[in-house]
Amino acid sequence: MMNDKMHPIGKWQTDFGFTLIEMIGVLAVIAIFVALLLPKVFEIMAESKTNAVVAAVALYKTAIVKYYADIGSVLPLDANGEPAVETTGDSANPLSLPARLVLDASDPLNTGVNGWANFNGPYLTKFSTNAPPGFGSSMRMRATNPAAYGTVVAAGDRGWDFDDDGNNDIPTNANVVFWRVHDVERADFERVDAVLDQGIGATFGERRVRGKVKYVTADKRLKIYLTHK
C-alpha cells in the first residue's frame, strides 16, 4: 500500500491545490512576463529622468529671463549690487547665480544699492547643487564669458554651436549661462540631446560638441546652454 504522504511525480499538491507541474508552469509564465516587461519599465524610468532634465532646463531659462529683465545682466550681483563673474556656479556659494536666483528680495544679503534696487527675487524656487533633477551626482549653474566667437567648439569649452557648422555662435562680448551636471551616463546624454538638439550632429562625436547639449566623455559631464546676453 502506498504511503498517503507519497505522491507520483507531478501529482504532489501545494496547500493551494496546485500540482507541482502546474506550479512550475505558473512560475514559468510569470518569468516570461517579467522578462518582457522589465525592459519597458527601465525605458519608462529613463524617459521620466529625461523629462525631468528637459523640464528643469525650461524652468531655469524662465528664471534667468525674469532676472535679466530686472537686473539687465545674467551675471550674479555682488554685495555692492554690481553684476560680477562667479566661477563655481555652486548654489552653496551665496555669490553664485543659482544662489541669487533663489534669494528672497527681503533677504539681508540684498543691500538695496545699485542692481539690488531692481531685484525682485526669488526667481527660482529651488536649486541644490547636490540634488540634480533626473540624473547625475551634482550640478552647477555658471554665468561667465564664452569662448571666442567663430572658434571651433569643443565639449569642455564655453562655446555653443547652434547652426551645426562646428563653430561657436555666441558673441565674444556676451555672457553665457549654462547648466553643468556631473556623472551622467552616455545613454542619458543621448536621450536629452535627442530632445533638445534634434537634427544637430550626424555622429556621436558631433552631437557631443554641437547644439545646446554637450558631453565630456572623460568625466561624464553634461553641459546644457541656457541663454546668453
Could you report the per-residue pLDDT of 44-88, keeping only the tens digit for each?
666 889 999 999 999 999 999 999 999 999 999 999 999 999 999
Cβ pair 172, 146 in contact under 8 A: yes
Question: Mean pLDDT over residues 202-223, rounded?
Answer: 97
Q: What is the pLDDT of residue 9?
A: 46
Element (H, E) at 226: strand 221-228
Higher pLDDT, 22 or 13: 22
133-182 per-position pLDDT tens digit? 999 999 999 999 999 999 999 999 999 999 999 999 999 999 999 999 99
pLDDT at 113 over 80: yes
Per the prediction, the chain carries an average pLDDT of: 90
Q: What is the pLDDT of residue 10?
A: 47
Q: How far apart are CA 153 and CA 150, in angstroms?
A: 9
Q: How far apart are CA 205 and CA 178, in angstroms?
A: 20
pLDDT at 11 over 70: no
Q: How far apart are CA 116 and CA 81, in angstroms?
A: 5
Could you tell me the CA-to-CA distances from 60 to 84, 138, 198 in Å, in that order? 19, 16, 20
Q: Which single residue is written with the C-alpha cell 529625461?
A: 50
Q: What is the pLDDT of residue 20?
A: 72
Rounded to two decimals, what is the model's pTM?
0.82
